[in-house]
Amino acid sequence: MNSDAIIDFFSGISGAAVSVYVGQPLDTIKTKLQTFPNRYKNFFDCGKQIFQQDGMRGLYAGTLPSLLANTAENGILFMAYGQCQNFIAFLRNRPDNDQLTTVDNMAAGSLAAAFSSVALCPTELVKCRIQTLKEMQTMNSLSMESQMTKKVSPIDITRDIIRKEGFRGLFRGLTTTLARECPGYGCFFGGYELSRSILIHENQKKGDIGFIKTWISGGMAGICFWLIMFPIDAIKSRIQVFKPTVTFPKYTLQIIRNEALYTGLLPTLIRTFVATGALFITYEHPVISSYSVLGGASILALNCTDNLLITAGHQNFQLFSIKQIDHSTQVSMLCDFRATQQQPALPRHALQPKDVSWNRRYEHKFATTNSTIGCLYIWDATRLSVTDQLPVHNGIINRIQFHPTNPDLLLTASQDGYGKLIDLRIDNTERVAKSFRHSSAEAFRDIDINPSATDKFAAVISDQHSVPIWDFRLHHQPVYSVSTRDRVSYILWNPHEPSWLATGGIGSHDRTIRIWDTDGNDSRQEPLFTVHAFRQIVKFSWRPACRYHIASVTRFRDQRIHVWDIRRPYLPQALFCHHQSDVEDFLWRPNSDNMLSIDRNGSLVHAHFSSAIKSDRLLSLFSLNATSKGSVQIVQPNIDNDYVRALYKEQHISAASTSLTKLYSHETMSTFNKWNKAIEGRSILGIYTNFSQDDSVELFHQFARRWILGQGEKSYKALGHICDTNSIVAEDLNRPDLRATWQVIKMLYPECEASRKRRARSSKTSRSLTKGFRSSDSTGGGGRHHHHHHQLTKKSIGIDEQLSLDEYKLNNNFNSERRVKSKEQRTLSDSKLTVIDDLDTYIVRDILTDDILFISPEDLLANGNSVDEFQDESCDIETMRTGFPLPITPSATPTIDGDYANYSIDRIMRKSPDIVMIDDEDLKNDEEYEDIDSDMLTSTHSLLPDSSGTFFTIDESYCPTVQKYSLNFDQIIRDTLYYYVENNELQMTVHLLLALYPQLSEQKRVELFNGMHLQWIVMYIELLQKMRLFVKAKQIIKHCIEVEGIPLHYNAADYEDTIILPTQPPSLPRLPSFASPPTPLPKKNAQPVLREFVCSICRIPCHGLFSFCGICFHGGHIEHIEAWFKTHDECSFGCGHRCRDHRSQN
């Protein structure tokens, strides 16, 4: 099997798949009508019934086997057909498949069908069974019960057939299939070839007849097929469905006697016409084919009948034949002129053509010029030899062209300053009929005879800024002159528009193709269209299929052929990219949309336009950026222009259904024929904002400005103040979730501490022993924090019991007192008040609106290690507060198990609890806390909305256990910060971090964040700078360095007592070295990297004296900065900060 056969096979398969999907419903109807001619009234009735009963599924019954049947059949059929054609051609002694007669093709078709029948028969059998399954069921419903009812899959049916009828059962009806297929396909291919030969024009090749005609031919072929073969098919269908016991001829007679055999013909014909046409369309059009020819060709020329091709150039002169063998274009070499001995012998330069032109009437006649002397050669392609040598010019002939209509006329353009019209009928050596000479006497570089007005031609004269147009009848001077203002190298008339002349510029700066209207009544002489190509144009050619399209290649390094719509000056419509090296020449094949092109390496490509890449696929019409100001910056095509309006009007495009792409797409533009102006492709660049819906950037600014940082004090009062202020801000800005977080932080630290102090005080006042207890507690804090009972074991039991009892009583009194206060508070705050007075309940400080976690001691005991956890962790806070070094705990595992931690975080983050913990009543008594008390009072009251629902007061003094064992907040803090980081609320993270920073010991920070916090701060600073919040960024940096001593990546001491910050936003800090890391860290990251201060003007690191802006921290060498600010107000770094304003203010 050769490659042709494989191509045939796959074309057949793809064709078949298309035809099945198009024709399957009609086929179903056909089969039903054939097998049950009396059940359905007619074609439409049948279709309607099927659709009503089974819907689309019914109509597409048996698609799978049908697909299989058709693909297998057609694959084999078309493969066999090609081979059979060859076989028949061989038998009949024809040199070429193209020359087979209709009868020959019929024979080839019949032969091919015999092969395909074998593949077709079993699949067809299954298909028929499926399609008529329903009818069979109703027919046999009484006798066959449910045997067949559920079996609808093709595999089931196949299995059923093999089981019941044996393997041979699959080939039931093979004889009939053969009887149908062989003559049928004979008619089929015969009809196809016949109708094609009827439809084609004179001189046209069968391959070029186009889409519609191919379809019609295919459809006709199908009709021929079915008209003749329908009765046989009907019999075949019956045999396959009813499984008759009588022989084929007998059964046939029986059917003929009883019924009409043409029932169901109409759907078949419709189906055939549609589907077979489609089959041939896919069969006919592989789009690209590539051939390798001798390299060095720079000219392609095609003869008038489109079947002979010359490639020529300095090292190449070959003749090819182009054949359309049904489905593909075949190019085969007929002659290599340089390799064959010429009669008469020719000089070498005659075989190095500079230009080639075919006669437009005699398909074997062509002329060539050579690159050294002004001699013209007339060739005969049948004899492959020169028939005439004409020494017409004294210089090199640059271009020759046969007259489009008169076969005896030939126009030449020569370096010697003459253009000459040669009449081959004149009987002298030169045969010059007329000579043309430009007034400047410069050389003729190019000529083109107007194909529509054949007595006019345009010429390119060297170094002239105009293109003269001559009339053959008035050879003394040009009839018209196009003033191009630039030198021109190449010209071409539009084949559709008689007055349109395209000119290509010369010189490295002129990369345009201009289209001029030479009607002459335009005195302004502006080009109609200008195409801005990418490089200097060397050749262009109008696309035969569209008068606005022109294909071009450019000089040097261009492997692509661009097809421009001249109405769009900048964007090519399509590009052929089939070459691997520079394209030398190309041409459109007449009457088709195929292009032939040749590259430097001798690769000849025949490609259909559909294989070109349409640039509207590449193009991005849209650009979108979210800006730092929270707006969206959009670039979009401006469709409010004349072209689009005209398009809507002409094409009746509804605005709603048209996409932007489509407006400027290849399809729309090539079909929109009433627009003789350049098409504007302007875009709108706009910045849009959506303040009402999305205020995240505004919020970012607000938070950055309003959230406070504190002064680095370690006191809880200060933290409480920060929390309150920040939560009020969050409330103000409608972020209750953030407010809640700040409140929780406040509860975790300052209030916890407050209650601790209060407890300490109350125990102090009540009983001196408590003090001793506490002091022992604190002193023991260096080690493990012990459980209450452990402590007690150290003391005598008697005292211990006494103590506990007293404490209990005292607590009870205290509690009752508080209960009263709480009631007062309820009336005051107009809120629901819940007093928790269960003594034996731990309150886990997961403070929520509607529920509070109560963990009873029993619960804790039940999960034995939970108690330990609390014990373990409590020491952290203790040591942190008392400033003791962190004890080396045996286990560094997280103390609150994952689920619980997640739960609490979840609650804290996602709800917006209205609860605020207030201990103010109690605190009033405390002198130490007087001012924080009032502070908190105002703040908390302002935090409470009047209508707030639930209001809890929680006092852990009710729970003696809590007093002793403070809970572990670290996990919560860490999880909170990480939660915000991971949800892109970096701002919240950093502010929380900075607020809590004084509270966290160095060890704690390392343990919790391990350096991540530095990265966060830096990223936050960067964000602030990006948002142009320079002052805020400075404030944060200053705060970090001066107040908190956070080691950002530079050392302030290096710049003595000035604050120098990086000229660029701080780069990633390296992890600072820790004195005693709890877990070993990779040492290589422990080196802080110092970046030099880089001058923002010369970008050279500054040493010695330099100057910088105190706000945006950008600056550089003093002399540069001073020079800069003489002419500028803004930062030299480009950050946009107006440093000079700031300077003058200070």
C-alpha–C-alpha distance, residues 317 and 297, integer Å: 7
Residue with smaller CB distance to another protein, 216 or 740: 740
Smaller CB separation from another protein, 185 or 1020: 1020
Among 623, 711, 925, 1076, binds another protein (CB under 8 A): 623
Q: Which of 630, 720, 960, 998 binds another protein (CB under 8 A)?
A: 630
Q: State which of positions 634-653 bind another protein (CB under 8 A).
A: 634-640, 644
- Which 833-892 residues touch another protein, going by CB under 8 A? 892
Q: 129: closest CA among 149, 170, 157?
A: 157
Count other Cβ atoms within 10 Å, centred on residue 817: 11
Q: Which is nearer to another protein, 632 or 810 (CB)?
A: 632
Check binding of 415 to another protein (CB under 8 A).
no
Q: Which of 660, 805, 839, 861 binds another protein (CB under 8 A)?
A: 660
* Cβ atoms 726, 742 nearer than 8 A: yes
Q: Kindly give, in sequence order, each residue whose CB lies less than 8 Å from that of residue 609, ignoring residues fewer than 6 positions away.
A: 543, 545, 563, 574, 593, 594, 595
Among 295-303, 417-425, 615-623, 772-780, which window interacts with another protein (CB under 8 A)? 615-623
Q: Give residue 859's Cα distance to chain centre.
A: 57
294 binds another protein (CB under 8 A): no
Which position among 810, 844, 1097, 1118 is part of the footprint of another protein (CB under 8 A)? Answer: 1097
The angle formed by the CA atoms of residues 60, 230 and 160, to the nearest 5 degrees, is 50
CB nearer another protein, residue 220 or residue 1046: 1046
Q: Nearer Cβ to another protein, position 545 or 626?
A: 626
Residue type, 51: F
Would you say 829 or 1096 has its CB closer to another protein? Answer: 1096
Instruction: Give the C-alpha separation, 803 to 807, whole Å.
Output: 6
Binding flag, residue 1108, another protein (CB under 8 A): no
Task: Look at residue 634 and give its three-state secondary structure.
Answer: strand
Among 705, 1136, 1141, 1143, binds another protein (CB under 8 A): 1136
DSSP label at residue 99: G
Cβ proximity to another protein: between 278 and 704 the closer is: 704
Binding range to another protein, per CB under 8 A, among 196-204, 313-321, 446-454, 527-535: 527-535
Integer CA distances (angstroms), 573 to 123, 324, 445, 616, 1080, in order: 46, 28, 29, 7, 63
Q: Please report whether residue 776 would count as binding another protein according to CB under 8 A.
A: no
1076 makes contact with another protein (CB under 8 A): no
Per-residue contact flags (x/-) with another protein for residues 1008 to 1037, judged by CB under 8 A: -xxxx--xx--x---x-xxxx---------
Q: Which stretch binds another protein (CB under 8 A): 344-352, 614-622, 714-722, 845-853?
A: 614-622
**C-beta closer to another protein: residue 958 or 1108:** 1108
Q: Which of residues 559-598 bind another protein (CB under 8 A)?
A: 559, 568-571, 577
Candidate list 148, 333, 632, 1059; residue touching another protein; CB under 8 A: 632
- Burial (Cβ within 10 Å: 0-12, 13-18, ≥19) of residue 948: middle
Gyration radius (Cα) of the chain, Å: 47
- CB-based contact 12:75 (threshold 8 Å): yes
What is the smallest separation between the CB atom of 545 and another protein, expressed in angstroms? 24
Pairing of strands 409-414, 418-423: antiparallel
Q: How far is the C-alpha of 234 from the C-alpha of 1100, rounded, in Å?
A: 92
Query: In the bound complex, what is the minimum distance in angstroms from residue 680's beta carbon to another protein?
Result: 8
Pick from 330, 689, 791, 866 the residue near another protein by CB under 8 A.
689
From residue 896, give the alpha-carbon distance in Å to each of 58, 902, 906: 64, 10, 14
Whether the Cβ atoms of residue 632 and residue 623 lie closer than 8 Å to each other: no
Spatial contact of 963 and 807, defined as CB atoms under 8 Å apart:
no
Joined tokens for residue 677: 């102006």
CB of 634 to another protein, least distance (A): 6
Which of residues 507 and 686 has its CB atom nearest to another protein in the complex?
A: 686
Contact yes or no for 199/218 (Cβ under 8 A): no
Of 57, 465, 532, 832, the residue at the interface with another protein (CB under 8 A) is 532
Residue 746 is classified by DSSP as H
Contact predicate 64/70, CB 8 Å: no
Name the residue among 262, 277, 274, 268 with its Cα closest to residue 195. Answer: 277
Q: What is the DSSP letter of 54?
A: H
One of 213, 349, 535, 757 touching another protein (CB under 8 A): 535
In whole angstroms, how close is the CB of 983 to another protein at the nearest point?
8
Q: Which of 687, 805, 828, 861 binds another protein (CB under 8 A)?
A: 687
Interaction between residue 1068 and another protein (CB under 8 A):
yes
The reply on whether position 1127 binds another protein by CB under 8 A is: yes
Among 391, 507, 686, 857, binds another protein (CB under 8 A): 686
Segment interacting with another protein (CB under 8 A) among 185-193, 586-594, 629-637, 813-821: 629-637
The Cβ of residue 292 has, within 10 Å, a number of other Cβ atoms equal to 9
| Residue 1087 near another protein by CB under 8 A | no
**Smallest distance from the beta carbon of 852 to another protein, in angstroms?**
22
Contact status: 1090 vs another protein (CB under 8 A): no
Of the candidates 179, 185, 178, 183, the residue with the CA atom closest to the CA atom of residue 117:
178
Kindly state the smallest distance separating residue 620's Cβ from another protein, in Å. Answer: 5
Q: Total residues contacting another protein (rule CB under 8 A)?
A: 110
| Window 485-514: contact mask with another protein (x via CB under 8 A) | --------------------------x---
Q: Which of residues 992-1011 bind another protein (CB under 8 A)?
A: 1007, 1009-1011
656 sits near another protein (criterion: CB under 8 A) = yes
What is the spatial distance between Cα 190 and Cα 461, in angstroms, rounded to a whole number? 56
- Strand 832-834, strand 950-952: pairing: parallel
φ/ψ of residue 625, rounded to 5: -145, 135
CA 860 to the chain's CA centroid: 57
Nearer to another protein, 114 or 697 (CB): 697
Cβ proximity to another protein: between 246 and 892 the closer is 892
Stretch that binds another protein, among 267-275, 313-321, 678-686, 822-830 (CB under 8 A): 678-686
Strand spans (E) along 208-352: 288-292, 299-302, 308-313, 316-325, 328-336
Contact assessment for residue 469 and residue 518, using Cβ atoms and an 8 Å cutoff: yes
| Helix residue spans in 211-264 (DSSP H) | 211-242, 248-258
Helix (H) or strand (E) holding 575: strand 572-576
Q: Are 1016 and 1048 in contact (CB under 8 A)?
A: no
Interior angle at CA 263, CA 262 and CA 268, nearest 5: 85
Q: How far is the CB of 1004 from another protein (least distance, A)?
A: 12
Segment 908 to 927, residues that bind another protein, using CB under 8 A: 910
Number of Cβ within a 10 Å radius of residue 958:
22
Hey, which residues between 706 and 745 contact another protein (CB under 8 A)?
none
- Residues 935 to 994 in contact with another protein, rule: CB under 8 A: 978, 981-987, 989
1133 binds another protein (CB under 8 A): yes
Number of C-beta neighbours around residue 140 at 10 A: 13
Asked if residues 1027 and 701 have their Cβ atoms less than 8 Å apart, the reply is yes
For residue 1060, the minimal CB distance to another protein (Å) is 16
Among 243, 285, 475, 629, binds another protein (CB under 8 A): 629
